[in-house]
Amino acid sequence: MSYPEKYKYAKSHEWLAVEGETGTVGITDYAQDSLGDIVFVELPKVGQEIEAGSTFGSVESVKAVSDLYSPATGTVTEINESLNDAPETINTAANETWLIKLTLCSRLPSMRSLWRKRLGTKTFCKPTLATMKPSRRWATRGCG
Amino acid sequence: MTSTETLSPLRRTALHATHHAHKARMVDFGGWDMPVQYRGLIDEHMAVRTGVGVFDVSHMGDIQLRGPSSLAAVQKLLMNDASKLAVGQAHYSAMLYPNGTFVDDVVLHKLGDNDYLIVINAGTREKDVAWVRSVIGNMTGVHVNDFSDYYTQLAIQGPKAEATLQKLTGVDLRPIKNYWFTWGTVCGCHNVLIARTGYTGEDGFEIYIPSDEPTSARVWGEVLAAGEEFGIMPCGLGARNTLRLEAAMALYGHEISDTINVLETHLTRYCKLDKGTDFVGREALLKIQADGGPARKLVALEMVERGIGRDGYPVTTVGGEKIGEVTSGSPSPFLKKNIALAYVPLAYTDVGTEVGVEVRGQVVKAVVVTMPFYRRPKIGAAPITAPLS
């Protein structure tokens, strides 16, 4: 599991790359590993304004649904449409697979509370079959 | 006086350390620390559909009923007709509450003329054992034993299950028909119950071996080695769930529960109201039938639009009016569609009926399809039928 230095990380396990006014968002290697085989990605529309800390879409594996939380405030300029057909790319290369690009809002530095430089796995809920609330983050279903 | 409360630790099967050695991802399942997946759910699922997979299902419970009244006890306790079973035969059945809803679904094995083995679910084990004892009450001539902790139960499932297990036993497996069983030496263990049963919709076997750790780990290892040439994979509860869902097999707490009666389910052919003896729940079911039958039924849904209907999501009319609920829903790794089981009013049960599934606030179109979603291909002349269809 690697966390490239060039990214900033949200507690909710998204990464953000900042280049000038453009922010690029993906999910961490830990997030993809926790989810398992990713089969579905729901992304916002180009032009949509999203706020730091709010949901902008979801990622679904066979077992789990996870909301995506934006690590920054801005306007969506591009979405990675290749994920419609090949969502599993996130499993093979989470750090290189971006989900959306944003024109960042200047409020960015004030959102410090969202950042974490390194992610301890302890802050992350493990999926449990006992919690049968599908809309909850990382919740999974019962089986067997 | 003071009382101390301690969190009861998760229960472990004899293969717990083995699962950790395999780097399985473990989850709490009904109070058990069980592997949900090893290398990946989809790979494990596909291994069972196309080759072979092995599951640790030792968390399942085993209740034995013995004695001259054991048939009478089983007939009172379970909805299927146990008098039809021959020695060496098993069938799907269920224990019901007096109102016709489910205590649990079970597989009943007739070990001998006065000797039955009921295999029950893990999450309902204590409740089930207590229920069996209360229903049997002071009936004479029957003895109830909870043997759950004495067996490590392995499910070897897939079109290559027979070839895999055959390498580990001198018993000729070919004549064992679906839902029949025998005993024999497996991996050097004598008198192992070998049943052609499973919960995957695929051909396969379940074996019951001694539950001591060294034996369990050794047999597990030998099964994996025997299946290597067929690409065997250790499989977790995640794949077990998607496999059973494709085959439309019920899961307690989802398709069946203490708020769902038998007549609403797809399991009515296992409920013998006219078997000649009364059983717990029968009267209530007869009354429901006399009053015009159930108002809702379980249907199979396939998502038409993009979106995955999951457990608990509302089922709606195309217009968005709520009419029911998804009991189990998931992407289907083998069919590569998004599938779901759901209870809906009778008016929406015909194959081809369009409905909606509310996926996080958005109504996504789905259609009622034939149940089960997946039926395994028949092999040669073997009299194999899907156990639940």
Q: Are B188 and B161 members of one domain? A: yes
CA-CA distances (angstroms) from residue B276 to A96, B73, B80, B272, B335?
Answer: 67, 14, 11, 9, 42
Structural domain contains residue A43: yes
pLDDT of residue A12: 86
A45 touches chain B (CB under 8 A): no
pLDDT over 70 for what percent of chain A?
A: 73
- pLDDT for position B4: 52
Torsion of the alpha carbons at B230, B333, A42 and B324, rounded to the nearest 10: -150
Instruction: Locate the chain A residue with the closest alpha carbon to B331.
Output: A62
Look at A144 and B254 and tell me if their CB atoms are within 8 Å.
no
B165 and B141, same structural domain?
no
CATH for B120:
3.30.70.1400
ipTM of model: 0.80
Residue B7 pLDDT: 62
Query: Is residue B343 domain-resident?
Result: yes
A/B interface, count of CB pairs below 8 Å? 91
Cβ atoms A100, A25 nearer than 8 A = yes
Distance from CA of A134 to the nearest CA of B (A): 7
| Whether B159 contacts chain A with CB within 8 A | no
Task: For chain B, list residues with pLDDT below 50.
Answer: 1-3, 381-389
Q: Are residues B44 and B167 in the same domain?
A: yes
Q: Which of B385, B299, B285 is nearest to B341 (CA)?
A: B299
Instruction: Tell if the CB–CB gap between B360 and A58 is shorter than 8 Å.
Output: yes
Could you tell me if B43 and B186 lie in one domain? yes
Q: Determine, yes or no, domain membership for A78.
A: yes
Res A3 pLDDT > 50: yes
Domain range for B49 is 16-57+150-246
Q: Give the residue on A whose Cα is nearest the Cα of B58.
A: A144
Read off the CATH number of the domain in which B293 is found. 2.40.30.110
Same domain, yes or no, for B315 and B297?
A: yes
The answer to whether residues B261 and B352 touch, using CB atoms and an 8 Å cutoff, is no
Tell whether B242 is covered by a domain.
yes
Q: What is the pLDDT of residue B378?
A: 78
Confidence label for A123 from pLDDT (cuts 50, 70 and 90)? very low
> Do B75 and B220 have their domain in common?
no
Does residue B4 belong to any structural domain of this protein?
A: no
Asked if the structure places residue B375 within a domain, the reply is no
Comparing CB atoms, the residue among B240, B311, B330 nearest residue A62 is B330
| Last residue within a domain, chosen from B146, B180, B204 | B146
Amino acid at A102: L
Residue pointed to by tokens 């092995």: B54
A24 inside domain: yes
Q: Does any domain span residue A124?
A: no
Q: Would residue A2 count as lying in a domain?
A: no
Residue B287 contacts residue B349 (beta carbons within 8 Å): no
H or E element, residue B127: helix B125-136
DSSP letter, residue B149: G
Q: Which residues are paired to A19 by β-bridges?
A: A22
Domain with A30 in it:
8-111
How many separate domains does chain A show?
1
Token pair recorded at residue A113: 């509370």
Tell me the C-alpha to C-alpha distance, in Å, between residue A47 and each of A96, A104, B159, B237: 23, 12, 51, 41
Interface test with B, best of A42, A56, A59, A63 (most B CBs within 10 A): A63
| Whole-angstrom distance, CA of residue B159 vs CA of residue A111 | 55
User: For A83-111, what is each residue's pLDDT tens digit?
Assistant: 999 999 999 999 999 999 999 876 544 34
Q: Are residues B40 and B163 in the same domain?
A: yes
- Residues of chain A with C-beta less than 8 angstroms from the C-beta of B238: 36, 62-63, 143
Q: Decide if B33 touches A, using CB distance below 8 A.
A: no
The total number of structural domains in chain B stands at 3
User: Band of the pLDDT at A131, cuts 50, 70, 90?
Assistant: very low
Given pLDDT bands bounded at 50, 70 and 90, which one contains residue A9? confident
Instruction: Tell me the CATH number at A12.
Output: 2.40.50.100
Q: In angstroms, what CA-CA distances link B376 with B158, B179, B236, B387? A: 10, 15, 21, 11
Shared-domain flag, residues B47 and B162: yes
Let me know if residue B72 belongs to a domain: yes
- What pLDDT sits at residue B30? 87
- pLDDT recorded at residue B323: 98
Whether B388 is covered by a domain: the verdict is no
Q: Is the pLDDT of residue A79 over 90?
A: yes
DSSP secondary structure, chain A, as one string: ----TTSEEETTSEEEEEETTEEEEEE-HHHHHHH-SEEEEE---TT-EE-TTSEEEEEEESSBEEEEE-SS-EEEEEE-THHHH-TTHHHH-TTT---EEEEE-TTGGGGGGGEESS--GGGSPPP-TT---TTSTT-B----
Question: Which of A95, A80, A73, A94 is closest to A23 using CA atoms?
Answer: A73
What would the two tokens of residue A103 be?
């024109």
Q: Could you tell me if B142 and B155 lie in one domain?
A: no
* DSSP class of B181: E
Q: Which residues from chain A sit within 8 angstroms of residue B241, using beta carbons? A: 63, 141-144
Q: What is the pLDDT of residue B380?
A: 52
Q: Is the pLDDT of residue A141 over 50?
A: no
Residues facing residue B102 across a β-bridge = B96
The verdict on A144 touching B (C-beta cutoff 8 Å) is yes
Do B355 and B283 sit in the same domain of this protein? yes
Q: Do B293 and B175 share a structural domain?
A: no
CA distance B49 to B165: 17
Judging contacts by C-beta atoms under 8 Å, the chain B residues touching residue A134 are 310-313
State the pLDDT at residue A128: 31
Q: Could you tell me if residue B188 is inside a domain?
A: yes
Asked, for residue B2, whether it belongs to a domain, the answer is no
One domain, residues B52 and B77: no
The confidence score (pLDDT) of residue B123 equals 87
Q: Give the CATH number of the domain where residue B45 resides.
A: 3.30.1360.120
